[in-house]
Amino acid sequence: MFQSYLSNPIVLGVVLVIGLVILVKGADWLVDGASNLARRLGVSDLLIGLTIVAFGTSMPEFVVNMVSVANGATDLAITNILGSNIINTLVILGASALVYPIVVQRTTIRFDIPMNILAGTLVLLFVIVKLPIEESNSLSLTEGVMLLCIFCLFLYYSIKTAQGSTCQSSEPLMPTWQSIMLILVGLICLVIGGEMIVKSATTIAQKMGVAESIIGLTIVALGTSLPELATSVVAAFKKNSDIAIGNVVGSNIFNVFFILSTSAIIKPLPLYDGITVDALVTALSALIVWLLAVSNKEHKIGRWGGALLLITYAIYLSYRLITC
C-alpha cells in the first residue's frame, strides 16, 4: 500500500517539494549557526561571507550531488550544478536587476565574474577535449582534481584579501549551544531533504519518461537555488548591489570548482545528451553579465539588462525542452 502511494507522480511531486523545503531551511539554519559561532570567535564579516555564507547557500547543491553520486544518479549530479549556475545568473540576477539596477564592483568585474566564465569554459573543454588517459564519456578524477586545485587557489586569494578586516556586525549573538544546535539540525535537514529530492526526482523521471537531466536542470536546480534567489532578490529590494551579485557569483564558483569537482573525484560522472549546450550556456551567461557590467561607466546592470538575462533563459529552456 505504501509503495503504491510512492509510485504516484503527484505524491512524488509533493515529496520533492517537501524535500526542497527541508533542504533550504536546513541550509538557512546551518548558515545562521555557523555565522554566529564564527563571530563569537572573532572572525571578520568579510571572511564569513566569503566562506561560511557562500558555502552555506551552496549546501543544497552539495548535498544533492553527494546523494546523487551515492545513488548512481550521475545525470542529476552534473545538471544540478550547471542548471543552478544558469538559473543563478540568468534568472536570479535577472530578476534582481529588474527589482533594482545592480552596480558591479571593479574587483567583481576583474576577478569574480571571469572566474565564473572560466568555470563554464573548463567544463565545456572537459566535454569536448578529453585527455588520452581518461574515459571519453565522463568527467573524470583528473578533471575533478584540476577544478579543486583552482578552487583552493581562489579560496586562498579570497582569504588573503579578507585579512585585516574586522567583525562589524552589530546583531546580537545567540548562545554558543544554540549555534551548535542550529548547525547540527541544519545538517540533519540537509541530509534528509537531499535524500527526498534525489529519490523522488529520479522516480518521477522514470515514471513520466522524462530525461533525468531535464529534471536536474529545471526542478532540482531551481529548488537548490532558492537560497540564492531569496538572498539576491531581498538584497535588490534593499538596494544592496554587492550582496545581490556577490551571492550569485560566489555560489557559482563554489558549485563548479568545489561541488562538481568533489563529485567527480568521488566517482567519474558520465556525460549526458545536451551537456555541451548546458556548459556553453553556463559560460556565455557569465560572459553576458560581464559585458553588461563593462558596457557603461557606472558598471551597472539596469532593468533592460535584467530583462535580457531572463529572455535568454527562456530561449535556452525552450530549446532544451524541445530537443530533450
- Position with higher pLDDT, 248 vs 150: 150
Mean pLDDT of 133-160: 82
Strand partners, 103: 300
Residue 97: all three cell numbers together: 536587476
Domain total for the chain? 1
The CATH number linked to 116 is 1.20.1420.30
Q: Half-sphere exposure (CA, 13 Å, Cβ side) for 300?
A: 11
Residue 276: all three cell numbers together: 555541451
Q: Half-sphere exposure (CA, 13 Å, Cβ side) for 4?
A: 1
- Tell me the residue type at 173: L
Instruction: List, in order, residues 6 or more apart from 16 with CB less than 8 Å away.
Output: 196, 197, 200, 201, 204, 219, 223
- Write out pLDDT tens, residues 237-281: 777 666 677 778 888 898 999 999 999 999 888 888 888 999 999
Report yes or no: 282 and 123 within 8 Å, Cβ to Cβ: yes
106 pLDDT band (50/70/90 cuts)? confident
Instruction: List, in order, residues 6 or more apart from 72 with CB less than 8 Å away.
Output: none
- Position with higher pLDDT, 90 vs 53: 90
Q: pLDDT at position 283, please?
A: 94
Strand partners, 138: 270
Q: pLDDT at position 73, please?
A: 75
Q: pLDDT at position 135, please?
A: 52
Report yes or no: 288 and 282 within 8 Å, Cβ to Cβ: no
Q: pLDDT at position 47, please?
A: 57
- Counting residues of the chain whose pLDDT is more than 70, the rounded percentage is 82
Mean pLDDT of 199-226: 77
Q: pLDDT at position 123, please?
A: 93
- pLDDT higher than 60, residue 219: yes
- Write out pLDDT tens, residues 274-321: 889 999 999 999 999 999 999 988 888 989 999 999 999 999 999 988
- Position with higher pLDDT, 80 vs 262: 262
58 pLDDT band (50/70/90 cuts)? confident
Q: The domain containing residue 55 runs over which residues? A: 2-323
40 pLDDT band (50/70/90 cuts)? confident
200 vs 221: CA distance, rounded Å = 14
- Position with higher pLDDT, 6 vs 140: 140
Q: Which of 173, 120, 130, 127 is nearest to 150 (CA)?
A: 120
Residue 295: all three cell numbers together: 558596457
Mean model confidence pLDDT for the chain: 80
Report yes or no: 226 and 60 within 8 Å, Cβ to Cβ: yes
